[in-house]
Amino acid sequence: MGKPDYALEMALMARGRRRIAGVDEVGRGPLAGPVMAAAVILDPQAIPEGLNDSKQLTERRRRELAQQLHADAQVSIAEASVEEIEYHNILRAAHLAMERAVAALDPAPDFLLIDGNLVPRGIAIPAQPVVKGDTRCVSIAAASIVAKIWRDRVMVDLAQQHPEYGWDKNKGYPTKQHRSALQNLGMTPHHRRSFRPVHKILYQD
């Protein structure tokens, strides 16, 4: 698989766009914790080397790149809570987080490159969805990195309150330790009770 590049951004710049933000979310799959999104406008003169889908990078490399991005790019991070995930659904909650991240960029972007196949309905800025965008577009890859780092920190913090679930390591994903703790200890306020694995564990016969 090739690495993401700056081609989409360059094509948009050739059409007059100047402030192009990559947007991505993390945390749709875990059983616990908020869903996070980030929006990043890269400085064309200071694009960090090695940007890639956050899942393709080591934790150490993600931290290094996130530090560079916070220093050299315009970065915004937002979340949607477990309560919002439950009230809406995980897709709409992820879109809410994206909308909030975009809205917090100041000055505002004039175009968005959004990971996935949908543009969130609350976004009025011109936008293009990019399927597998974090592997194709460095702006989206940058957003995936900073959102991942931020969400991981949140889950490590929550793990201090609920150490039995292993969130400092599994970040809320359904590992053996996490599922076992759910079965033995039940649900915390940070669990997504509507998610089928949580519901099944808690209400099995």
In tens, the pLDDT along 53-93 reads 999 999 999 999 999 999 999 999 999 999 999 999 999 99
Euclidean distance between CA atoms 158 and 165, whole angstroms: 10
In terms of Cβ atoms closer than 10 Å to its own Cβ (0-12, 13-18, 19+), residue 1 is: exposed
Euclidean distance between CA atoms 151 and 78, whole angstroms: 10
pLDDT above 90 (res 199): no
- Asked if 159 and 142 count as a contact pair (C-beta separation under 8 A), the reply is no
Euclidean distance between CA atoms 141 and 10, whole angstroms: 16
What is the bridge-based pairing of β-strands 35-41 and 74-80?
Answer: antiparallel
* Structure-model confidence comparison of residues 6 and 197, the more confident one: 6
Annotated binding site for a divalent metal cation: 24-25, 115
Q: Note the pTM of the prediction, 2 decimals.
A: 0.95
Q: What tokens does 205 get?
A: 């016969």
Mean pLDDT value across the chain: 95
Q: What is the strand order of the sheet 127-130 is part of?
A: 74-80, 35-41, 20-26, 111-115, 127-130
Mean pLDDT on 109-133: 97
**Confidence at 1, pLDDT banded by 50, 70, 90:** low
**Confidence at 197, pLDDT banded by 50, 70, 90:** confident
Annotated binding site: 24-25, 115
> What are the chain's domains?
7-159 (3.30.420.10)
pLDDT above 50 (res 205): no
Write the pLDDT tens digit of every residue in 145-196: 999 999 999 999 999 999 999 999 999 999 999 999 998 998 999 999 989 8
Amino acid at 69: L
